[in-house]
Chain A
Amino acid sequence: MARRVSTSTKVGFTVLAWAVALLIFSPILWTVLTAFKTEAEAIAAQPTFFPQNFTLENFGAVQDRSDYFKHAINSIIVSFGSTILGLIIAIPAAWSMAFAPSKRTKDILMWMLSTKMMPAVGVLIPIYLIFRDLRLLDTVHGLTLIMTLINLPIIVWMLYTYFKEIPVDILEAARMDGAELWNEIVHVLVPMAVPGIASTLLLNVILAWNEAFWTITLTSGRAGTLTAFISSFSSPQGLFLAKLSAASLLAIAPILLLGWFSQKQLVRGLTFGAVK
């Protein structure tokens, strides 16, 4: 039975939700507004809220200095490539951990997660040397590879928790009907876990899209993604705030649209298994 909620509580919560949402959104809004200001207006001592002299010149200047589309294509290849590669490895791994666990499964899961606890800079030099020797520096496939490795623990963990929610009986029934392991995973498990796999995919695409440390360190112009694109406009002397905002807006636009269109899927996936 639905709980009865008074109108004043409803209004209160609505206002609160809007306040929190606006608070979280305000830096992005500020970036969007600044992108359409002139450089002088962007750093003015008395800041203006709406652009007084609306201009698109920052976008032109940004594109002149750095090729947006090249970086955007790199971002798409690296984020989707690494996530799909990660899923190909993680789906069988999560299957075995969820449905055929051994004595050490829990330890392996913890160990995988522990690799995320080390600061990335701790392994910078070894990775850099390996990349140098394998000639992977500043290549899109090198970056895809490192991004796969970075996000693999999260992908495995997410899939593992989704798979655990699926009744093992269904898989057993498929096996009774003579399904081989491959068919069991592809035709029974995966279709049932689609919401989970989709949200894993989306979340890891976003993580790979926003990754900055390795992208900036391991690339020098050719394989740079949009995070490298943004960082090339960041300056400690605050001289190019409007251009930096324009670059940021261009960089987040594709992923913002993707998130917008797939938000139902994302929410469903993230709360998957919360209600039984």
Chain B
Amino acid sequence: MKLTPLFVGAMTLALIGSASAQTLTIATVNNGDMIRMQGLSSAFTEETGIELNWVVLEENTLRQNVTTDIATNGGQYDIMTIGTYEAPIWAKQGWLKPLDGLAADAEYDVDDLLPAIRGGLSVDGKLYAAPFYGESSFIMYRTDLMEKAGLTMPEAPTWEFIGEAARAMTDRANDINGICLRGKAGWGENMAFLTAMSNSFGARWFDENWKPQFDSEQWKNTLDTYLSLMADAGPAGASSNGFNENLTLFQQGKCGMWIDATVAASFVTNPNDSTVADKVGFAQAPDNGLGKRGNWLWAWSLAIPASSQNAEAAEQFINWATSKDYLATVAEKEGWANVPPGTRTSLYENPDYQAAAPFAAMTLASINSADPNNPTVDPVPYVGVQFVAIPEFAGIGTNVGQLFSAALAGQMSAADALAQAQDATTRDMTRAGYIK
């Protein structure tokens, strides 16, 4: 039959593909720092003879793929890029191999990892994922507009000051919004910001018995403050704004302040992309004097699934990619400003890095002030600053995010949004077995 050669060809190709020397399959997320690591990784292969097979995916696709694989013990990947949300959940499930080798390696110096980040990636004192880069959130503001408004930004402002400044900086005639905040629905979108904000208002997602707290005075204050701030000083159509949209607005000079990820600092101060590059100041996320600030904590990290057949080689690679030497290599080849931030204390003590990144000190202060193991004013049964590290949170968080986004768009009142959030979350948590 004529078709036979085609199939023989297909089978042969497939067999060739599966029979090779030791190869690590690495699933990672498509962003600048990871692509740079991929580019530099030929040095690792030359050094060790271990081949690398890269699977680079967009964040949501990556999350779906690696979750499917790890939950079914599929074994497609030897190294997975995961965040501080997945790390504690997966570690508790026994899906990840502990990185004991790194902890024992004096040269790797595990104590150099920033304590807040290390805490977010450890369970019972054991490290389950090594941070590749970390971030918190802080305030980026226009120094010129602040001066024009006759105000001075403190290093660690209160929400009251932010409200006053945002309203004073707003100039509708010139299309300048006092403040740009996330409004797009999603657990990693508006809920990352609002959950972190609620911590500084003394609110919490659940009490110690997993009962949702959206009926509390603290959540009402959080949402009312957010909505009135956005109504008085926010951009039009804010309910569809996420990180990118706000970045563009800020770079075009249309925002007086923006509270978002610390990694944005290098974008807004880059004169190639930003029209306001030389007029940006930084301050810590606001608080209300309750001991918690409205900043989050996230780290893209490398972990080894329990199903990996190449755990030893995988740990070798993770050691290479998250070491001090790697940071030095990036600095040498691409400059200090391009080094992956937010993982090691020694980086922030390095004068070369401090000179190249004017926002370094504020980034470090923000990361250090977030505590994923103790995120709220009142005690909670969960881990996580801008999320609740339970598997159900992605769904619940997105539901609530849609309600709050609808409130921002004026489709429902704050009271209705909170009441519906309380009902929906109570139902989901009861169904999931948290509430008996």
Residues on A close to B: CB < 8 A? 40, 43, 45, 64-66, 73, 77, 80-81, 84, 88, 124-125, 128-129, 132, 137-141, 144, 216-217, 220-224, 231-240
Q: 28 pairs across A/B with beta carbons < 8 Å? A: A40-B273, A65-B56, A77-B10, A80-B6, A128-B72, A137-B76, A138-B76, A139-B18, A140-B10, A141-B11, A216-B57, A217-B68, A220-B53, A220-B55, A221-B25, A222-B53, A231-B57, A231-B58, A231-B61, A233-B30, A233-B56, A235-B59, A236-B58, A236-B59, A236-B244, A237-B243, A239-B31, A240-B30
When the two chains form the complex, which single residue of A43, A65, A222 contacts B17, counting CB atoms closer than 8 Å? A222
Chain A residues, CB < 8 A from B38: 65
Neighbour of A235 across the interface among B3, B30, B71, B273, CB < 8 A: B30
Q: Which residues of B contact A (CB under 8 A)?
A: 3, 6-7, 9-11, 13-14, 17-18, 25, 27, 30-32, 35, 38-39, 53-61, 64-65, 68-69, 71-77, 243-244, 248, 251-252, 272-273
Q: Of all chain A residues, which has the CB nearest B242? A: A236
Asked whether, in the complex, the Cβ of B74 is within 8 Å of the Cβ of A132, the reply is yes
B72 contacts A129, C-beta separation under 8 Å: yes
Q: Which of the residues B17, B55, B69, B251 comes within 8 Å of A139, measured between beta carbons?
A: B17
Q: Which residues of A contact B71 (CB under 8 A)?
A: 125
Assembly CA distance A103 to B73 (angstroms): 45
A104 to B221, CA, bound (A): 64
Once A231-B58, A234-B58 are accepted as A-B contacts, the answer to whether A220 and B18 lie under 8 Å apart by CB is no
- Is B10 a contact partner of A237 (Cβ separation < 8 A)? no
CA distance A235 to B273 in the complex (A): 18
Check A220–B77 contact: CB distance below 8 A.
yes
Q: Judging by beta carbons under 8 Å apart, are B56 and A66 in contact? A: yes
A95 to chain B, nearest CB (A): 18
Give the residues in chain B near A217, CB-CB below 8 Å.
64-65, 68
Asked if B74 contacts A234 (CB within 8 A), the reply is no
Inter-chain CA distance A222–B248, complex, in Å, is 37
A220 to B248, CA, bound (A): 34
CA distance in complex: A144, B65 (Å): 19
Chain A residues positioned under 8 Å from B76 (CB to CB):
137-138, 220
Query: Whose C-beta in chain A lies nearest to the C-beta of B64?
Result: A217
State A240–B244 Cα separation when bound (angstroms).
13
Which chain A residues border B252 with CB–CB below 8 Å? 45
Would you call A236 and B14 a contact (CB within 8 A)?
no
Complex contacts, A237 vs chain B, CB 8 Å: 31, 243-244
* B39: A residues at CB distance < 8 A: 64-65
| Nearest CB of chain A from residue B6's CB, rounded to whole Å | 6
* Minimum CB–CB distance for B38 against chain A, Å: 7
Interface centre among A77, A128, A141, A237 (most CB of B within 10 A): A237
A40 to B74, CA, bound (A): 40
Closest 5 CB pairs of A and B: A232-B56, A235-B30, A221-B53, A220-B76, A140-B14
B214: shortest Cβ distance to chain A, in Å? Answer: 28
Are A236 and B60 touching (Cβ within 8 A)?
Answer: yes
Take A80-B6, A140-B17 as given contacts and tell me if A128 and B74 are in contact as well, using a CB distance cutoff of 8 Å: yes
- Asked whether A223 lies within 8 Å of B68 as measured between CB atoms, the reply is no
Collect the chain B residues with CB atoms within 8 Å of residue A77's CB. Answer: 6, 9-10, 13
B31 contacts A220, CB within 8 Å?
no
Judge whether B13 and A140 touch: CB under 8 Å.
Answer: yes
- Measured CB to CB, the nearest residue on chain B to A125 is B72
Nearest residue (CB) in A for B77 is A220
CA distance A216 to B13 in the complex (A): 19
- State whether A216 touches B61 (Cβ < 8 A): yes
Question: For A233, what are the chain B residues with a Cβ–Cβ distance below 8 Å?
Answer: 30, 56
Nearest-neighbor residue (CB-CB) of B249 within chain A: A45
Contacts of B31 in A (CB 8 A): 235, 237, 239
Chain A residues whose CB sits within 8 angstroms of the CB of B10 once the complex forms: 77, 81, 140-141, 144
Which residues of A have CB within 8 Å of B55? 220-221, 224, 232
With A and B bound together, what is the CA distance between A224 and B226 in angstroms?
45
Residues of chain B within 8 A (CB-CB) of A223 are 14, 17
A198 to B57, alpha carbons, bound, how many Å?
A: 35
Smallest beta-carbon distance A22→chain B, Å: 28
**Once the chains are docked, how many angstroms separate the CA of A138 from the CA of B18?**
9
Chain A residues lying within 8 Å of B75, measured Cβ to Cβ, are 132, 137
Instruction: Point out the residues of chain B lying under 8 angstroms from A138, CB to CB.
Output: 76
Q: Which of B6, B27, B68 contacts A125 (CB 8 A)?
A: B68
Tell me the bound Cα distance from A139 to B60 in angstroms: 23
Q: How far apart sit A88 and B17, CA to CA, in the bound complex (Å)?
A: 27
Contact check, B74 vs A232: say whether CB atoms are below 8 A apart.
Answer: no
Q: Which of B3, B32, B72, B251 contacts A132 (CB 8 A)?
A: B72
Q: Which residues of A contact B7 (CB under 8 A)?
A: 81
Contact (Cβ within 8 A) B65 A40: no
Query: Is B59 a contact partner of A128 (Cβ separation < 8 A)?
Result: no
Cβ A220 vs Cβ B35 within 8 A = no
A19 to B53, CA, bound (A): 45
List of B residues within 8 angstroms of A222 by Cβ: 17-18, 53
Most-contacted residue by chain B among A128, A138, A240 (CB, 10 A): A138
Contact status of A235 and B25, CB under 8 A, knowing A140-B17, A216-B65: no
B53 CB contacts on chain A under 8 angstroms = 220-222
Contact (A234, B6) CB under 8 Å given A140-B17, A220-B25: no
Report the Cα distance A206→B136, complex, angstroms: 44
- Nearest chain B CB to A72 CB, angstrom units: 12
Kindly list chain A residues whose C-beta atoms are within 8 Å of the C-beta of B3. 84, 88
Residues in chain B near residue A238, CB distance under 8 A? 244
Contacts of B57 in A (CB 8 A): 216, 231-232
A132 to B56, CA, bound (A): 21
A236, B14: Cα distance in complex, Å: 32
The complex places the Cα of A124 from the Cα of B54 at a distance, in Å, of: 23
A124-B61 in contact given A77-B10, A132-B74, A239-B32 (Cβ < 8 Å): no
In the assembled complex, the Cα of A232 lies from the Cα of B296 at a distance in Å of: 28
* Complex Cα–Cα for A247 and B58 (A): 14
Cβ contact within 8 Å between B72 and A220: no
* Residues on A with beta carbons closer than 8 Å to the beta carbon of B77: 220
B54→A221 contact, CB < 8 A: yes
Inside 8 A of B64's CB, which chain A residues have their CB?
217
**A135 CB to closest chain B CB, in angstroms?**
9
Query: In the complex, what residues of B have CB within 8 A of residue A65's CB?
Result: 35, 38-39, 56
Residue of A nearest to B56 (CB): A232
* A16 nearest CB across to chain B (Å): 33
Contacts of A141 in B (CB 8 A): 10-11, 14
